[in-house]
Amino acid sequence: MTVEKALRLAQDADLDLVEVAPQARPPVCKLMDFGKFKYESALKAREARKKATHTVIKEMKLRPKIDPHDYETKKGHVVRFLGQGDKVKITIMFRGREQHRPELGFKLLAKLAEDVNELGWVESAPKQDGRNMIMVLGPHRRKADAKAEREADKEVARARRRADDEANAQRRRARATTDSTDVDGFAPADAVPLDAPTAPADAEASTGADASTEVEALTEVEAPVDAVAPAGTDEPADATADQAVDENPDPVAPAAPRPVRPSPAKPRAARKTT
């Protein structure tokens, strides 16, 4: 088919004439929507980049005379790298006369490989490279599997966080409803009415008995005592008692007389004589 006829067919179908195989003889063309073709190609490339796995080699440097605490810290990093599906390059750095003791580096690398045996394997055996000794550890599982597991853990954490947020929101709504009910004047279900008796009938009876007993006691205290008229007086006993009460308002304890202090005498001024 000639190019002119192919272009005429593309115009009639409102499509584009795209050359898909320029190296073929004769070249191969196709009628399609070129904008849609570019969009689908971009989507396929994006999906391919997501599924692609890049080999990353992490590096961890040690010294032959490393402290046990530092060794545990470095080993923790190696475990984390292997768990993420990455290779780890272990480098032992020698200084000065340590270069004449390569067995220290071999021993340290063998110990590290044994400690992380569950997560990785020795991909490259230890070998001396100048002042350094190098060993490569490879992970047991692929990086794609480790990534999928991390994504699943993240999704579980997000779901748990959403559930906690929803529970907190429900508690806040319930608290707000309770507060609004109290403000509007509606008493809660467990509230006690104001006109409810605060004490049982027995307690009220006992309280009344105590009150009557107290009134009787006060009456006995406030009642005047029958006074006896002194001998040789014509006044009745009642008048004598009234007079005693007037002079001493406290019938229980008589008032003590107040002592009168004599005022000091002022010296007279001497008269002037001329």
Please check whether residue 158 is in contact with residue 141, taking contact to mean a CB–CB distance below 8 angstroms: no
Other C-beta atoms lying within 10 Å of the C-beta of residue 247: 9
CATH of domain 57-141: 3.30.110.10
Kindly state the percentage of the chain with pLDDT values over 90.
Answer: 26
* 100/133 Cα distance (integer angstroms): 12
Q: What is the mean pLDDT of the chain?
A: 76
34-48, 104-118, 175-189, 190-204: segment of lowest average pLDDT: 190-204
| Higher-scoring residue by pLDDT: 143, 13 | 13
Asked if the domains at 3-51 and 57-141 fall in one CATH topology, the answer is: no
pLDDT-derived band at 51, boundaries 50, 70, 90: confident
pLDDT-derived band at 107, boundaries 50, 70, 90: very high
The predicted-structure confidence for 16-41, as pLDDT tens digits, reads as follows 888 888 888 888 888 888 888 899 99
The predicted-structure confidence for 254-267, as pLDDT tens digits, reads as follows 556 666 666 666 66
pLDDT on residue 221 = 45
This prediction has a pTM of 0.43
109, pLDDT greater than 90: yes
Query: Rounded mean pLDDT of 151-180?
Result: 88
Kindly state the percentage of the chain with pLDDT values over 70.
Answer: 65
| Helix residue ranges, H only, the chain | 3-13, 34-51, 68-83, 102-115, 143-184, 201-222, 237-247
Domain map (residue ranges) of the chain: 3-51, 57-141
**Pick from 23, 24, 25, 18: which is nearest to 41 by CA?**
18
Q: What is the identity of the amino acid at 17?
A: L
233, pLDDT greater than 90: no
Q: Is the peptide bond before 26 cis (omega within 30 degrees of 0)?
A: yes
What is the DSSP track for 150-200?
Answer: HHHHHHHHHHHHHHHHHHHHHHHHHHHHHHHHHHHTPPPTTPPPTTS-SS-
Superfamily of domain 3-51 in the CATH hierarchy:
Translation initiation factor 3 (IF-3), N-terminal domain (3.10.20.80)
